[in-house]
Structure 1
Amino acid sequence: MAEWDGEALARLRSAAHRGDADAGLDVLRERPLEPVLQYAGDVALAAVAQERPEGARLAEECRALLSERALPGDMVLAAELAAPPGHDPALTSLPVDLGAVAAAMDGGLHVLDLERGDVLPLDEVLFDEAPDDEPRDAGRWLPIPPIPPVAPPEGEDARRGAARAWLAEQGYRPAPRTL
């Protein structure tokens, strides 16, 4: 069984980010799912949506492993994987990079652009000259809270899951980003 080296992980990140089921399935073959369950689940969702034969099997395997592991965000993704294809999810899709949200949660003041899915430092958001100093189009920006320092999740997959859990609490689910 192949292990997760830097190149394989980069290919998986890219495939999950783009919603490219074929590329994701290719890199997941013959590798353990446990270290990359959040990415593997995103690839499984794309594979099911694109009606790839391996999609249903991968979705079920990821769902079972996520349910067993139960880190923040795992249950959100497991529920999405368990939903029937074509199911209208309770969460609104937003083309956001979970890695960027997770990085923003690691420190600093950031906001999520609810129209474009971009993560921006708060100081880059333009402000009106309103006396209360509210950001322009205040309903467009969602402040991203820092992860509490008490027990921050360790590892990229766990931080990605924490970002997914926070996003679900806000009523959103990540969707692939395309240009």
Structure 2
Amino acid sequence: MADWDEDARARLRAAAHRRDGDAGLAALAGRPLGPVLQYAGDVLLAALDRGLPAAEPLARKCVEELDGRDGPGDAELAAELTAALEGRATGLIGVPVDLGALGARLEADPADGVQAVDLRTGDIDEPGPGFDPESRLTFVPGGPDPGDPGEEAQRGRARRRLAEHGYRPGPRPFL
């Protein structure tokens, strides 16, 4: 079984960012899911959405590992994968937000003040003039979580924060 070197991780990140199920399955082939469960789940959701047959057994394994790990955002991602495997909707509304960017903002210094996610564009910024609370999800950064550092946990915390408010990450079209 191949391990996750930086090139393989970069291919998986790119596939997740593009929501490219084919490229995601290729990046996952022959590698353990454990170190990259949040990214793996994202590409598997895309692959399931396209009806790619190779996605189903990997998605089931990903759900099992997410349930066993129980890290930030793992329950939310497992629920999304389970819903996709069963052909049903989660009831969460897709928001075109970059989980990495949101995760980094959630871990910013709380002294930076209130931040907001534009629910239409996925942009993250400070609420300013013309702030529309109906089209934005606001939050106060909580600072880094010293007990659970790393990219996986950061993405998971962002996924969990969205789900707590009825949202899930969705495709982010390039403008």
User: Map of 1:47-66 to 2, 5 A cutoff?
Assistant: 47-66=47-66
Note the alpha carbon deviations across 1:108-131, whole angstroms, 9 max, x for none: 4431011111122x1xx4315xxx
Matched residues, number: 169
The match for 1:131 is none
Note the alpha carbon deviations across 1:56-90, whole angstroms, 9 max, x for none: 11110000000000012101111111114541221
User: Map of 1:10-25 to 2, 5 A cutoff?
Assistant: 10-25=10-25
| Equivalent position SS for 2:51 | coil
Q: Distance in 2 between matches of 1:10 and 1:140?
A: 32
Q: Which runs of 5+ in 2 are unaligned?
A: none
Task: Tell me the C-alpha RMSD between the 2 structures.
Answer: 1.7
TM-score (norm 2): 0.89
The match for 1:133 is none
Q: Could you tell me how far 1:151 is from its partner in structure 2? A: 4.4
Amino-acid identity (%): 49
The match for 1:143 is 138
Q: Distance in 2 between matches of 1:139 and 1:119?
A: 15
- The amino acid that maps onto 2:129 is F
> Which is higher, the Rg of structure 1 or of structure 2?
1
Q: Distance in 2 between matches of 1:15 and 1:149?
A: 26
Q: Distance in 1 between matches of 2:169 and 2:74?
A: 14
The match for 1:176 is 171
1:152/1:113 Cα in 2 relative to 1: closer, same or farther (>3 Å)? farther
Q: Which runs of 5+ in 1 are unaligned?
A: 129-135
1:152/1:90 Cα in 2 relative to 1: closer, same or farther (>3 Å)? farther
